[in-house]
Structure 1
Amino acid sequence: MDAEKNRIKDLPKVERPREKLIKYGPEKLSNSELLAIILRSGTKKENVVELASKILKRFTVEKLPHLTFDELRNFYGLGPVKSYEIIACFELGKRLLKDKKAEVYLKPKDVWEELKDLRDNKKEHFVVFYLDSRNQEIKREIISVGSLNANLVHPREVFEPAVRNLSAQIIVAHNHPSGDPEPSEDDLEITKRLVESGKILGIEVADHVIIARNGFLSFKEKELL
């Protein structure tokens, strides 16, 4: 019975981490309170929040994800079940972090490299990269070929494939046969129209990259979006 007296529900309601999480959100809880939710109960001598604080004081939150089962189990108040639960929680966090690191974001230089065949092309090509919510490319399409102007590139042609493929964002790009990557008035106007249309549809225009023979220009880097 005594071992059960220091569970979370035995704390005053205003001090219970679960209730605080529900009311204020997880970001408002301390590290000890978050760990206490995982542990659920304390020991005969200390409540669960006190136990969590003691663990973090001994190991620190940075070291906790890297502890072995034996290191956790041998800490007074944990035991095998709580040790496994802590290890499982942190393993999920590690896997999520690994997935995040694996995300591929198409940087302006990547676009320039991907479209290297257009650097010396005598005709302007307007290309759209369609990306998913993890910034990974779903597909790409050439929307138009020829002299680029605001009337030639219509938002409908750009966003129709985005809607069809459930794209979260797009990167648009086109080449300048002149070799000068500086944007023209038409380039600025087209980009403005696409950004406005994207906001209505909930699809972000992440960048507009102009491809030239000896370099490129990113609207995002130049703060032109």
Structure 2
Amino acid sequence: MDRIKELPEEDRPREKIEKFGAESLTDSELLAVLLRTGTNGKSAVTLARELLKEFGNLKKISEASLQELTSFKGLGKAKAITLIAAFEVGRRASNSLSPKKVKSPKDAFEVIKPLVDKLKVEELGILTLNSAGEVIGIHKVARGGSNRVSVRAKEILRPAVKDLAEGIILFHNHPSGSLKPSPEDIHITEKLKEACKILGIELLDHIIVTEENFFSFKGEGLV
């Protein structure tokens, strides 16, 4: 008799990983492994299925904020944080498969877009690069409201100094869909360029990302 069928439902995904490998699991079973336990008489598998039904698919769950996840009945803060961490590990693993070389604003956009795609709030971060133009690290620095972030130059440059970066690319998203730089965008770019000169780090570009396109300060001669 199949041992998997003899196990409680919430334990079956782990048994399947042992027996057949993680690739054999459905999306809901993978989520159930992360959730570990169910709630209110529901197994982890049932909770995972309901979560998928609510959000639509794994991609949309991976893009959800902590507040959005915890608003789902049965998903407490600990479970939500576990999911957020797991999706971030997956993103970082994908991004670190091989060094990415950035030779153009389009190259930078292709690295940045998966990080901020479909976010409902602005997030600001940097790519740190070595002398060969290879990405050393990707660092999110600040999160703001639906149309703004506020951050100081030293907060932006802290991870660049730690990475011993030769250059950085500043990036942030515009959830509104507008590619036009705001006065604040221009101001932080100018301030950051000045701070970079002091530290011997080159500000290579500032990329504004929307769901479909991007604006490059370098491409427009603004850095």
Q: TM-score, normalised by structure 1?
A: 0.51
Q: How does 1:1-225 map to 2 (within 5 A)?
A: 104-117=101-114, 118-147=116-145, 148-149=148-149, 152-225=150-223
Q: CA deviation at 1:110?
A: 2.3
Q: Does the CA contact (< 8 Å) of 1:209 and 1:218 recur in 2?
A: yes
State the partner residue of 1:11.
Answer: none
1:188-219 alpha-carbon deviations (Å, 9 max, x no partner): 00100000000111101000000012211000
- Once the two structures are superposed, residues 85-135 of structure 1 have per-residue CA deviations (whole angstroms, 9 ceiling, x without a partner) of xxxxxxxxxxxxxxxxx9922422222222334232110010200011111
**Residues 17-39 of structure 1, C-alpha deviation per residue, up to 9 Å, x if partnerless?**
xxxxxxxxxxxxxxxxxxxxxxx
Query: Distance in 2 between the 1:156 and 1:105 partners?
Result: 24
- Does the 8 Å contact 1:119/1:176 carry over to 2? no
Conserved in 1, the CA contact under 8 Å of 2:125 and 2:156?
no
Structure 1: how far apart are the matches of 2:174 and 2:103?
20
CA contact (8 A) 1:155 1:193 kept: yes
After superposition, the CA RMSD in angstroms is: 1.8
Q: Distance in 1 between matches of 2:164 and 2:106?
A: 25
1:187–1:168 distance in 2 versus 1, CA, 3 Å? same
Q: Unaligned regions of 5+ residues in structure 1, if any? A: 1-101
- The equivalent of 2:35 in structure 1 is none
Counterpart CA distance in 2 for 1:116 and 1:177 is 12
TM-aligned CA distance change 1:103 to 1:113, over 3 Å = closer
Aligned equivalents of 1:140, 1:192: Cα separation in 2: 21
- Cα separation, 1, equivalents of 2:103 and 2:177: 22
How many residue pairs get aligned? The number is 122
For residue 105 of structure 2, what is the amino acid of its counterpart? P
- Matched-pair contact (CA < 8 Å) for 1:103–1:134: no
1:155 deviates by: 1.1
Instruction: Normalising by structure 2, report the TM-score.
Output: 0.51
Q: Is the contact made by 1:171 and 1:206 (CA closer than 8 Å) also made in structure 2? A: yes
- Percent same amino acid among aligned pairs? 38
